[in-house]
Structure 1
Amino acid sequence: MNKLDMTGLTTMPAQVWGGIRLVPLVREQPVDGLRLCHEIYGAGYGEVDLGSRAHYLSYIPHGFVADWSGDGGQSAAYGTQLGDQPPACVPVRRHHRLAKRRSTKGVAENRLRFLPLHLALEGYLALHFGGPSIVWDEWSQQAVRQGLSPRAEDAYAGWQVRGLGEALRIFEIHPGQCGVLVYAADSLAAAFVVPHPADYRALHPSLIEDLYGELVHQYAFFGGPVPDFAARVRDGGHLKTLADLRAAARAQERAWAENHDTLLAARLLDASYSFERVYAMSSFSLWRFLPPFRRGESEQHIGEAITDHKGRVAYLKTFRLSEALGTSYADLVRRIRSAGFESLLKQGVERMARD
């Protein structure tokens, strides 16, 4: 498995608010045997226990619960208001990355609680924030003497992305909608997919509390308004009834969807990813994935997904990485110094000169 298989999902005409474009994703039939609901923690920071004495602190407003018991998702109404201001208090809670839900009798149920986007971000940070993959005497000695300094990554909550809150509040939810593609300045910012339309209606407001990269925040803030979808039906003497007009309008919708799928979302769907299975849920699997990190590619996404036994996406959430390459020499030096690696690079250059 190295691709995202979005079979069963159809793109609908986009809805535009300023520089934000939302593209609804509709299913003809919900995914059988899986539902997704959520737990509301209240906005704040949480400490996540990864086991093996490893922890990290992060912004965690809610968790998702995957239910493959066949009882149907029991999703409470989401209580978050779509606004522009952060909450006044920031309580700290303790969480486990993955937690198998148990019934009142203590028996494990077919339900799994997980923290959305944290699986993907954890895999990314573990890959790129660890130590060197080769033996490096100077680095090892420094690590023993001083320990590994805490690493951090910045992101923006959805309410900080200009226009996103208003777009989510005013746009309609289509019948059968099970997902959405979020664009900022016509650049893909995130993809979100769930198994069932009722799940999407409950989780739609949660997009305002998701995490978005620095690049997405900049695109939304500095980018101008993007063109709206417009269907142009030309009457060549063939439109005689309302059925003819309806068929012509639907043809325009299909043409827009084909153009969108080919041009705008191609980099997300056509890219090859490295998948890691995190949890098996009967005929479903929970994965996290990383892009190939090819130099020169401006659009790269990490994410997590639940797929069925055929590899088709039932749940998907992605996070677009900010561009790091293609920067100037001065900016690269500044980044290395601020990350604390300047002395190691100097020692490495001196060693190569001696060798």
Structure 2
Amino acid sequence: MAQKKRLLTDISLKGLEIAPSQVRGAIRIVPLIRRNIRNDLRLIRRPYQEDMTVVGLEGKITEPGMKYFSYVPHGLVMSWTDDGSPVAACGGQIVKPDGQRQECGCTSVRLMHRMAKRESANQLRFLPLHLAMEGFLSLFFSGPTIAWSEYSKYALSHGLGSRYETSVSGRYIAGLEDALRVFEIHERQVGVLVFVAESLASAFVVPTPEDYRALHTSLLEDFYGELIYQYSLLYDTTWPMDTTIEDESKINSLADLKGAIAKMRDDWASFQGFMAEGLLQRQLNSQIVYTAGSFLLQRFITDLQPKHKNYIGEVIIRESGELEYLKTYRLSESQTRRAYLLSQLAKHNWNLEATAKALSQTSHDFISRLESAGFGYLLNQAVRDAALKKTKKSSR
């Protein structure tokens, strides 16, 4: 019961300051500054060179069970201390080999065990963003909880079966590589909000400025949704946003000027925080993945709202609730739609009639909606044919 109280319920930038943004083309990067740096938690990047990674989610990788397949360019190794002292010689620790490498013709494959794996008493390796995506793919994965006659034998036996989502590497986001190369990194910067055509593409936070400098370019190796990729191609500039001192006539001394500039920066930070309102202060559904001393590694998904921006991600927070690590991924409309339909089915015990009624639709319309979302294979063919016939008849 105690752990449930520590589940993340919303994303807050408490303890972080939002600095003025830097703009290049359609890319706006908003620096996040941490004033209280503790050094009792550190993150380092572990690069992988393989073309594909297979992660065993149940038991050993060589044993039967659920697997996750993806291109994984790097992992993150989390090191912490239990007494609040600084992590010693971060990056110099001796670690065990991480997985196995195999050659499959012209393709190299890395075989790994678990998304988050403890490597020593105070060290944990996890796969950034993939931890969140695997959680998203596994939502309602077991399928119907009752053997309703409308479902196919496959759905009743295997649930949703193999699920997949597609995404785009950050290297294909037009202008992102240039922006990361030329933008200034502040002295105490520990993260960024990345906007593409004024749409929040990613929020990224790490524990210390040293970690951030080492991981700054890792944003290029992250994956982004198709919508963000399209925005980067369609737009070559951001909205014009200027801020000035409100009343210059009141500036009569350096102290007045300093106060006016501070207010202007506060107003600008508040506005940039407002731009990320689809993520910040949004209600979350979270899951604790690992407890590491006084730190909690969690993954989350925002409460699904089909007509709003929705995100998945992962965080590391202290027991006090202070944010130490954050990485997010914006879901596309189609990804949101699929997750929303599954959530509604699960909410109504996978009863098609009850779910359709709750969504103010006929059962045939709801079945057509499932078909368009790619879930038609869950239903038996007679139900699909009847819905298709009804839809064609009503469209005449």
TM-score normalized with structure 2 length: 0.75
SS at match of 2:212: helix
Q: Report the counterpart of residue 271 of structure 1 in structure 2.
A: 282
Change (3 A) 1:110 1:247: same
Change (3 A) 1:147 1:73: same
Counterpart pick for 1:11 among 4, 10, 18 = 18
- The superposition leaves residues 208-251 of structure 1 with CA deviations (integer Å, 9 ceiling, x where unpaired) of 01010111111221124114654423673444555544443332
Cα distance in 1 for partners of 2:153, 2:50 equals 41
> Which amino acid letter does the alignment assign opposite residue 100 of structure 1?
R
Counterpart pick for 1:33 among 34, 40, 43 = 40
1:234-253 paired onto structure 2 within 5 Å: 236-240=248-252, 242=254, 244-253=256-265
Greater Cα offset, 279-288 or 227-236: 227-236
SS at match of 2:210: helix
Q: Report the counterpart of residue 95 of structure 1 in structure 2.
A: 112
Q: Report the counterpart of residue 311 of structure 1 in structure 2.
A: 321
Which 5+ residue runs of structure 1 have no aligned equivalent?
77-88, 102-107
> Which amino acid letter does the alignment assign opposite residue 285 of structure 2?
S
Shift of 1:198: 0.4
- The superposition leaves residues 300-342 of structure 1 with CA deviations (integer Å, 9 ceiling, x where unpaired) of 1111100001122110111100013789x99x95982683616
Counterpart pick for 1:121 among 128, 133, 148 = 133
Change (3 A) 1:73 1:115: farther
Shift of 1:351: 8.8
Change (3 A) 1:191 1:343: closer
Cα distance in 2 for partners of 1:75, 1:200 equals 14
Q: Report the counterpart of residue 131 of structure 1 in structure 2.
A: 143
On the 8 A contact 1:14/1:229 being kept in 2, the answer is no
> Which amino acid letter does the alignment assign opposite residue 14 of structure 2?
T
Moved beyond 6 Å, runs of 4+: 144-148, 349-352
Shift of 1:98: 1.6
SS at match of 2:55: strand
TM-score normalized with structure 1 length: 0.83
1:1-355 paired onto structure 2 within 5 Å: 1=7, 2-42=9-49, 44-52=51-59, 53-69=65-81, 70-72=86-88, 74-75=90-91, 91-96=108-113, 97-101=115-119, 108-127=120-139, 130-137=142-149, 139=151, 141-142=153-154, 150-227=162-239, 230-233=242-245, 236-240=248-252, 242=254, 244-261=256-273, 263-296=274-307, 298-324=308-334, 336=371, 339=374, 341=376, 344=379, 347-348=382-383
SS at match of 2:138: helix
SS at match of 1:65: strand
SS at match of 1:336: helix
Query: Percent identical across equivalent pairs?
Result: 39
On the 8 A contact 1:47/1:92 being kept in 2, the answer is yes
Cα distance in 1 for partners of 2:249, 2:150 equals 79
> Which amino acid letter does the alignment assign opposite residue 341 of structure 1?
G
On the 8 A contact 1:13/1:229 being kept in 2, the answer is no
> Which amino acid letter does the alignment assign opposite residue 307 of structure 1?
I
SS at match of 1:258: helix
Cα distance in 1 for partners of 2:222, 2:25 equals 20
> Which amino acid letter does the alignment assign opposite residue 9 of structure 1?
L
Cα distance in 2 for partners of 1:314, 1:73 equals 19
Change (3 A) 1:276 1:334: closer
Aligned residues: 331
- The superposition leaves residues 179-222 of structure 1 with CA deviations (integer Å, 9 ceiling, x where unpaired) of 10011110111100011010000001100010101111112211
> Which amino acid letter does the alignment assign opposite residue 67 of structure 1?
S
On the 8 A contact 1:287/1:304 being kept in 2, the answer is yes
Which 5+ residue runs of structure 2 have no aligned equivalent?
1-6, 60-64, 93-105, 339-363, 388-396
SS at match of 1:215: helix
Shift of 1:348: 4.1
On the 8 A contact 1:37/1:73 being kept in 2, the answer is no
Change (3 A) 1:228 1:133: farther
Cα distance in 2 for partners of 1:290, 1:348 equals 32
> Which amino acid letter does the alignment assign opposite residue 176 of structure 2?
L
Cα distance in 1 for partners of 2:181, 2:89 equals 24
Greater Cα offset, 20-29 or 63-72: 63-72
On the 8 A contact 2:155/2:378 being kept in 1, the answer is no
On the 8 A contact 2:299/2:313 being kept in 1, the answer is yes
On the 8 A contact 2:28/2:195 being kept in 1, the answer is yes
Cα distance in 1 for partners of 2:380, 2:149 equals 13
Cα distance in 1 for partners of 2:223, 2:89 equals 25
CA root-mean-square deviation: 3.2
